[in-house]
Structure formats: C-alpha cells, structure tokens
C-alpha cells in the first residue's frame, strides 16, 4: 500500500494515541491515511463516559472502527505499558496532545502545575518502555506561562529521554481535529491553544538508525 503522510505521521508508522478526547485527532490521521490499521487510539474515560461528555465521540469512534482502528478505553497514561493489550507492543509514534491533570486549582497555582508534571512524567515513563528503538514520543503543549512551568523537556531528561525537536502546532493543519477541555461541566467545549508546540522525544542512546527507517 502506498505510504501517506500527515505532518509528522506516516501510514506506515505504528501509532499509539493517548488521552484522546472525542477522538477527532485520531480520526483526522485515519482519514488522511485512508486506513487506521496501524493505529491504536486510547482514552482514560470509559466509552459510556465519553459519549456523555462529547457530542461527536460516538460518531468519531464508529468512523475509526470502520477504518480499522484499535480503540481502547480506560487506559491510564501512567500504567499503559502494563495494559494487557499494549504490554508486548512497540510503537513508532506515541502521541499525547494537550495533557491535563484536571481542574483542581488555578493553572498558575504551583499545586496544579505539580499535578500536571506528574501526569507528564508518568506518561513519559510508560512511553519509554513502549516506543521503538528509533521511534518518537510526541507531546503537544502550550508554551506560554504558566504552561511553560511544566518544564516537560526537563522531565523527559530525568526519565531517560531526550528532546530531538520542537515544532509549532497549528490546528488548521489537522482538518477535523477539535481540541476539548475534557474536564468540568464544559468538557465538550474547545479552548484557545495560543502558542503551542509539538515536542518530539526519543530514547537517549538509540543505535545508529538503519537504512530505510521511517
């Protein structure tokens, strides 16, 4: 099958998507590829909770299933490397867009920032066990204060990963993707992303890439 690409992603990549909201980002990639057979899309919420929270979730899930996507619910970013379906698999791309630990405090509060940092650390630790030798872990994240205080590159360094690139993220490049708040009574609302980037991480010391690696 002919390779198709969408920004940083290829139809040949084995892609794991973590913490999907209404699954519109997964569906954007699947439509661009014409198939989702190499994709695993996950949510922390149960399917029932998703369909109550997000008006388009059920439609998006049905479309993904028709395109061959593997969909898993109730997957915790901290423990996903031990998930019964995921524990023996490796991925070329592991993607977490706009990780958020929930609205317990105001965003600039140090306690809220620590909760966010804990979520990112847990995700990166699990991802380090699941990413292929030359694969990448992508975190799309706001870069202005107070989100810059999460220091995600420093967290990655501490868990054995290295930042290899930072690329500006623009919603218009992902047709159909609608970012969602995900928590509180306005969970189905979108939010302004402002200045944000996709941070790309790899294992610190992978072997020399083999010819033809994508």
Give, for all 214 residues of the chain, the pLDDT tens digit.
789 999 999 999 999 999 999 999 999 999 999 999 999 999 999 999 999 999 999 999 999 999 999 999 999 999 999 999 999 999 999 999 999 888 788 889 999 999 999 999 999 999 999 999 999 999 999 999 999 999 999 999 999 999 999 999 999 999 999 998 877 677 898 888 999 999 999 998 765 555 445 5
- The 10 Å Cβ neighbour count of residue 67 is 18
Q: Cβ distance 25 to 97 under 8 Å?
A: yes
Q: In CATH, what class is 8-203?
A: alpha beta
Backbone angles phi, psi at 30, to 5 degrees: -60, -40
pTM, two decimals, is 0.93
DSSP 126-151: HHHTTEEEEEEEEEEEE-STTGGGG-
Domain boundaries along the sequence of the chain: 8-203
Look up residue 67 and give its DSSP letter: T
């Amino acid at each position: 099958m002919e390779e198709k690409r969408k920004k940083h992603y290829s139809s040949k990549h084995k892609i794991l998507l973590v913490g999907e909201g209404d699954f519109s980002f997964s569906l954007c990639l699947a439509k661009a590829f014409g198939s989702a057979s190499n994709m695993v899309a996950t949510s922390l919420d149960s399917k029932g909770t998703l369909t109550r929270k997000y008006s388009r979730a059920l439609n998006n899930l049905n479309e993904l299933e028709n395109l061959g996507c593997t969909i898993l619910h109730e997957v915790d970013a901290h423990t996903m490397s031990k998930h019964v379906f995921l524990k023996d698999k490796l991925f070329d791309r592991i993607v977490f867009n706009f990780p958020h630990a929930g609205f317990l405090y105001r965003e600039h509060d140090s306690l809220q920032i620590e909760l966010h940092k804990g979520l990112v650390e847990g995700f990166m630790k699990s991802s380090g066990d699941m990413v292929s030798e030359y694969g990448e872990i992508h975190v799309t994240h706001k870069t202005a204060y107070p989100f810059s205080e999460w220091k995600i590159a420093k967290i990655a360094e501490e868990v054995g990963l290295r930042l290899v690139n930072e690329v500006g993220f623009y919603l218009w490049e992902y047709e159909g993707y609608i970012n969602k708040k995900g928590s509180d009574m306005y969970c189905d609302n979108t939010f302004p992303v402002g200045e944000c980037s996709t941070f790309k991480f790899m294992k610190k010391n992978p072997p020399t890439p083999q010819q033809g690696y994508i």
